[in-house]
Amino acid sequence: MHHFVKSTAVAAIVLAAGADAFGAPMKSRGLSFGNIVRMPTASTTQLFATPETAETEVERLRSMAAKLRAEASGLEAEKAQQAANAAERDFRKFDTNQDGTVTFQELKSGLEKVLKTELTEERVMQLMEEYDVNGDGVLQLDEFVSVDMFRNRLEALIRDEQSVAREAGNQAKSDAAAVALTEARMKTMNDNAPSGTDKIISVLPYLLPLLDGLQYGRFLLEGQDNPFVVVLALLYTLYRSVPFSGFIVFLGLSALSGNLGINRQIRFNMQQAIYLDIALFVPSLIATLNGLVLGGIGVEVPEVVSQLGSDAVFVTLLAGIGYSVASSLLGITPDKIPFISKAAGDRMPTNDMNDE
């Protein structure tokens, strides 16, 4: 910078030395060296600024910032003082008995008088509890705020109550929709307690496994002439007289068990009867495989073993059917048969499946 100033001074001396040579042309144009030197601009002022000048400018800006902060603090203090004065004036008005405290009733009466509206005791109590810092049930001067602050807080409480009311209304609508959905489900899916007719109908599906299982009871039923056996013989004769009767009944029960309008106990027994009928294939399959294996090695199964095996299967089937019939006639779902009942229950539609 000092070198630049020196160079500028040298240039000025040179111009002064050549003033006589170029004096006439410059004067004719209204220019002179003195005029040129006396024409400073903003850029030239900045150009010739020194570090001392820059430091002075920084100090000036700092001083201005400090002054602005002081003014802002003064305004805040003035505003706080005005709020305190307003709160004190309102406190004197509300403290009607001039005992230095504002009671719940004084607060309620004073706010209703100033705001020209009736306030509920719940809202006034909310204000009292919010501003009663020491919890003595009254408001002292240092706990009291201006009427404007009370008004703003009341408006906020009203907005909160309106929001709660809207949420309660929405919840009520949601509950009503849930009730309507439940009613629709009940109409669509008959899960009601079975009637007397439903109880009787619910035992009929077990005729399918009973008739298909008579082949296992031939050793026990031969020579029997009691009415139950006679009826079973007639039913079995009719059942076998229809081609593919077992397959037709099987498909019919499968289709009807999917009808949600039929009572649940009937649908459950349909499914359980189907699984009992399917289970009858297992003993036949085991007997066939044993016959093949033992016949392959030259071992013959004694007739008494076959009879005992068939009797055991038939008695087990009768026990399962008897339990299911007795429970169904009592209106109780017969869901205690191992493996079979669980498989039937898993096939039953539920309300969750029927949401849509």
Write out pLDDT tens, residues 55-85. Answer: 888 888 888 888 888 888 888 877 777 777 8
Residues 269, 274, 277, 282: is their CA dihedral positive or negative? negative
Inter-residue contact 219 to 310 (CB < 8 Å): yes
pLDDT digits (tens, 9 = 90+) for 265-275: 999 999 999 99
Higher-scoring residue by pLDDT: 335, 93: 335
pLDDT exceeds cutoff 60 at 19: no
Inter-residue contact 197 to 268 (CB < 8 Å): no
B/e letters for 196-230, b = 16+ CB within 10 Å, e = fewer, are eebbebbbebbebbbbbbbebbeebbeeeeeeebe
Q: What is the mean pLDDT of the chain?
A: 80
Domain ranges of the chain: 2-49, 92-180, 192-354
Q: What is the mean pLDDT of residues 19-45?
A: 43
CATH class of the domain whose range is 92-180:
mainly alpha
Helix H, strand E, coil C: the string for 274-331 is: HHHHHHCHHHHHHHHHHHHHHHHCCCCCCHHHHHHHHHHHHHHHHHHHHHHHHHHHCC
Q: Which pLDDT belongs to residue 226?
A: 81
Inter-residue contact 267 to 335 (CB < 8 Å): no
